[in-house]
Amino acid sequence: MQNLVDYTMLPPEQLFGFNSDGSPRIEVSNAAKIAQDMILPVCYRNTPWALTIAHGLGFGTNRAEGLVQLFDDISLWEAIGYEVVSGSFEPKSNISLRRRGDAFPQIFKENLYAKDVILTEVFDDDDAQVDWAARSISRDLTIDELQIEDIMVIVSDSSKFVNIGKKLSAELLKYGVKSHLTGIDTNRDEFFIKDSVVITTIHRAKGNEAAMVYLINSEYGNGKFDLIKRRNTLYTGITRSRAWVRVCGVGVDMLAIKKEVELIIANDFKLNFVVPTDEERKKLRNIHRDRSAGEIRNLENIVKNTGEFIEKVHSGDVPIEALSQDDLARLREILERTREVK
């Protein structure tokens, strides 16, 4: 489930390849037709509140611009522990989902408060974010009596990992807290180190977990392109937490993420969205798919040129009559769709 849509594993023949004689390197026979995998009905690692928000952000259920992605098999919601509060799984239905009471151990409700489990913070710049994270981690260790191995810091945007990680390490030292950047201060096989807070990327965080997770630079999840990959990053980061998670980031994109979280909390941790049709789901996958660096550069240039074009039309340098009727009709259609989203 670290990839929210591709929920089936490739067959072993594709995963491990073939021998020179054409036979598969790994072959799993199942003559008795026994199920070889299953969806576990109870989530023991994540609190129901953090998992709901992880799914909400991962799919974009409360995103102002609409869904980012969704299961092809909509009934999977029930298989992974959700129940329908209202609506149905039929296309175009306004559906409301929440975690079933039997889909998580009651120890979470007995020992944790939902309002403390997940907090979001927005900062003006990276320095303010790093300062806050260091102070919060120090407070976790001193006042809240967490152990160093209870804490994991994940930098959502891998391109910022070294820069942000080193800033945070330096700031933590001011509080007498040691830390390490995985793969930078350690060899590639080391993750948790005694008496040192782990600072890592989302790729290294997979397969690991901690009681308290700091997911920093989470504005990464609200970029213009590659939204499926970016939202999967938020989902994976939040689900590394066994108890508490702090989602923080910088600027207006983080404000949008914070608003999504607050809407889910205000709705008593229910996920509300309109079930898309098969065609709409395919369109989402195409719009928000992973793209190469060259593709992204081209799209950024198109967006830039569009802004320049609008400015030229607005100033009168380019007369509106220069556009064909077909182009004008398409622009009207785009504007209408934008109004519908808002």
Q: Which residue has the tokens 């054409």?
A: 22
Give residue limits of the domains in the chain: 48-274
Which amino acid is located at 211 in the chain?
A: A
The predicted model scores a pTM of 0.80
Going through 124-275 in order, the beta strands assigned E by DSSP cover 151-155, 179-181, 197-201, 210-216, 241-250, 271-274
Strand-strand pairing, 241-250 and 118-123: parallel
pLDDT tier at 21, thresholds 50, 70, 90: confident
pLDDT tier at 312, thresholds 50, 70, 90: confident
Phi, psi of 246 (to 5 degrees): -120, 110
**pLDDT (tens digit per residue) in 215-266:** 999 999 998 878 999 999 999 999 999 999 999 999 999 999 999 999 999 9
Q: Which residue has the tokens 């340098």?
A: 317
Report pLDDT for 1.
45
Q: What's the rounded Cα separation, in Å, for the pair 201 and 153?
A: 8
By mean pLDDT, which of 69-78, 106-115, 177-186, 281-290 is the weakest?
281-290
CATH architecture of 48-274: 3-Layer(aba) Sandwich (3.40)
pLDDT tier at 202, thresholds 50, 70, 90: very high
Report pLDDT for 225.
76
